[in-house]
Amino acid sequence: MRQIKTDIRSLTYEQLEGFVQSQNLPAFRTEQIFRWLHSGAESFDEMTNLPKSLRKLLDERACIHKTAVYKKLASKQDGTVKYVFELYDGSFVETVVMKYEHGYSVCLSTQVGCRMGCGFCQSTRSGLIRNLEAGEILGQLLAAQRDMSISISNIVLMGIGEPLDNFDNVVSFLKIVNHPKGVNIGYRHISLSTCGLVDGIDKLAKLNFPITLSISLHAPTDEKRSSIMPINKKYNVNSLISACRRYQSKTGRRISFEYSVINGVNDSPDDAKRLFSLLSGIMYHINLIPVNKIENGKYTAPVMKRIESFRNLLCSMGAVCTIRRTLGADISASCGQLRSKYETERRVGN
């Protein structure tokens, strides 16, 4: 019978220790292998301080899933780089690298597709194909670092997919990327964005990692939110905000609320007032994002003046609120757009 190979980059340090033990290898091999995997090795052959016989054994028992650059687009405006990576099964995911004054930040995908169904989002249009393994979430960061010869210092889980719908793999990813012998990115430099899976928020709070939780709120009432985000029918606005309060009292972390401003849907002065009172008592930051129109989509952004008035009204009431600067507008840096374009191209054989 053919043995199924272990997806070795998806193992936490402790799981790798277990694997090394199961192969009757000396314990010090764990650290060597872990360091190689997380400095971006793509094959066991690259692990030159391991004896050849061990590299051969690893190759027989384990595999490192590939994250191959399928397309790379660099913004001429601001240096943002977008990758479409091809995974071992031919799936595509998108990853964006942004440069800030203090270093590089990467936006990672957590699933191939998404089943949340938000009305303004491209990534969900053809549903969920599959979850990404922890090593595939990490693989995007490693492949980008390797390709650009940079070191990334901040992570946002805000690419394709709903991170809390792939909970266990995302948690393994967080543990692996935070490990001092690996990539070693501090939890305070990591944000996780969710459309509002309340049970997932509670599970995450229990782990008490000091990461930043971002909530894609987008509307202050059930009627409006349900019309653009089907998840609101399962977890309504009040249950979501209560989960945010529980998360904050457990972790002490400020919560970030994302609000994609949509013309005529959620951009009135009344919406701003309701939003403000909804968040009362929470320590937060609101990010306003002009909605990015998707192909054949019915939602468009208001003119900038209207978004500024919305922000000004919120600020005048005492809210902490900014309009997100858009990066990479010339390379479709918002997620999902390139994946679907190349999926279509490949289907029609371009």
3-state secondary structure of 82: strand
80 touches 100 (CB < 8 A) = no
Strands 103-107 and 111-113: unpaired
31 catalytic? Reply is: no
94 catalytic? Reply is: yes
Interface map 323-342 toward ligand SAH (x if CB under 6 A)? -----------x--------
Give the bridge partners for 103, in sequence order.
100
Catalytic residue among 107, 121, 244, 335: 335
Which residue in the block uniquely carries the two structure tokens 């008490």? 208
294-297 CB contacts, 8 Å cutoff, 24+ apart: 294/120, 294/121, 294/122, 294/125, 294/336, 294/337, 295/122, 295/337, 297/119, 297/120, 297/122
Expressed in angstroms, the distance from the first to the final Cα of the chain is 39
Nearer to ligand SAH, 111 or 145 (CB): 111
Nearer to ligand SAH, 80 or 292 (CB): 292
Nearer to ligand SAH, 286 or 291 (CB): 291
Q: Which stretch binds ligand SAH (CB under 6 A): 204-212, 219-227, 290-298, 339-347?
A: 290-298
Does 121 participate in binding ligand SAH (rule CB under 6 A)? yes
Contact residue for ligand SAH among 86, 94, 133, 162 (CB under 6 A): 162
Does 195 participate in binding ligand SAH (rule CB under 6 A)? yes
CA-nearest of 101, 234, 97, 73 to 164 is 234
C-beta neighbour count of 164 within 10 angstroms: 24
95 touches 139 (CB < 8 A) = no
Contact residue for ligand SAH among 50, 294, 314, 319 (CB under 6 A): 294
Interface map 76-115 toward ligand SAH (x if CB under 6 A)? ----------------------------------------
Which two structure tokens, joined as six digits, stand for 77? 């405006």
Which residue in the block uniquely carries the two structure tokens 């959620």? 266
* Cα 332 to Cα 184: distance, rounded to the nearest angstrom: 30
Nearer to ligand SAH, 251 or 260 (CB): 260
Interface map 217-256 toward ligand SAH (x if CB under 6 A)? ----------------------------------------
Interface map 174-193 toward ligand SAH (x if CB under 6 A)? -------------------x
| Interaction site with ligand SAH (CB under 6 A) | 118, 120-121, 158, 162, 193-195, 216, 258, 260, 289, 291-292, 294, 334
